[in-house]
Amino acid sequence: MKTKLFGSVLAAALFAGVLSGCASNQSAGANASAAQSAGEPSAAAQVKTVNVALESGSKPLSFENDKGEKVGYEVDVLKAVDELIPDYNFNVELVESDATQIGLETGKYVLIGGGLYKTPEREQKYLIPNAINGVSLINIYVNEDDNSIKSLDDLVGKKLVPSTPNGGIFNLLTAYNKEHPDKQITITTGEGISVADRFKSVSDKQYDALVLPNNLGFTEIKKELGLKVKAVNPPVKINGTYFALAKDQTDLSAKVEQALKTLRENGTLSKLSETWYGEDTIKYFTE
Partner 1 sequence: MGIDFSYVLKVIDRISGAIPYTLLIIVISGSFGILLAAGIAAIRIRKWKVLSPLADVYVSFFRSTPPLIHIFLVYYGLPLLLREFGIDADDWSKTIYVSLALILFNGAYMSEYLRPAYLAVDRGQHDAADSIGMTGFTKLRRIILPQMLPIAWPNLENAFVELVKDTSVLFVIGLTDIMGMAKKIISNDYGVKKLEVYLAAAAIYWCITFAVSKLCQLLEKKIMIGNPTEKRVG
Buried-state track 153-182, b at ≥16 Cβ within 10 A, e below 16: ebbeebebbbbeeeebbbeebeebeeeeee
Site track 94-133 with partner 1 (rule: CB under 8 A), x = hit: xxx-xx--xx--xxx-------------------------
Cα four-point dihedral sign 126, 258, 59, 219: positive
Whole-number CA gyration radius for the chain: 21
User: Is there binding between residue 220 and partner 1 (CB under 8 A)?
Assistant: yes
> What is the smallest separation between the CB atom of 103 and partner 1, expressed in angstroms?
6
Distance of CA 246 to the CA centre of its chain: 17
Q: How many CB atoms lie within 10 A of CB 217?
A: 20
> What is the smallest separation between the CB atom of 72 and partner 1, expressed in angstroms?
11
Binding residues for partner 1 restricted to 149-168, rule: CB under 8 A: none
> What is the smallest separation between the CB atom of 214 and partner 1, expressed in angstroms?
14
> What is the smallest separation between the CB atom of 195 and partner 1, expressed in angstroms?
5
> What is the smallest separation between the CB atom of 267 and partner 1, expressed in angstroms?
28
Report cis status (omega within 30 of 0) of the bond before 120. no
Residue closer to partner 1 (CB basis): 72 or 235: 72
Interface pick for partner 1 out of 77, 128, 132, 216 (rule CB under 8 A): 216
DSSP code, position 31: H
Site track 35-64 with partner 1 (rule: CB under 8 A), x = hit: ----------------x----xxxx---xx
List the one residue out of 190, 192, 196 whose CA is nearest residue 2. Answer: 192
Burial (CB < 10 A; 0-12, 13-18, 19+), residue 134, is: buried
Residue closer to partner 1 (CB basis): 152 or 244: 244
DSSP H or E run through 63: strand 63-64
Binding residues for partner 1 restricted to 180-199, rule: CB under 8 A: 194-197
The answer to whether the beta carbons of residues 30 and 110 sit under 8 Å apart is: no
The count of residues interacting with partner 1 (CB under 8 A) is 45
Residue closer to partner 1 (CB basis): 198 or 264: 198
> What is the smallest separation between the CB atom of 16 and partner 1, expressed in angstroms?
5
Site track 4-33 with partner 1 (rule: CB under 8 A), x = hit: xx--xx-xx--xx--xx-xx--xx------
- Tally helices (H) and strands (E) across the chain: 10, 9
The answer to whether the beta carbons of residues 231 and 139 sit under 8 Å apart is: yes
User: Is there binding between residue 244 and partner 1 (CB under 8 A)?
Assistant: no
Residue closer to partner 1 (CB basis): 105 or 257: 105
The answer to whether the beta carbons of residues 144 and 228 sit under 8 Å apart is: yes
Summarize as ranges the residues that interact with partner 1 (CB under 8 A): 4-5, 8-9, 11-12, 15-16, 19-20, 22-23, 26-27, 51, 56-59, 63-66, 68, 93-96, 98-99, 102-103, 106-108, 194-197, 216-217, 220-221, 224-225
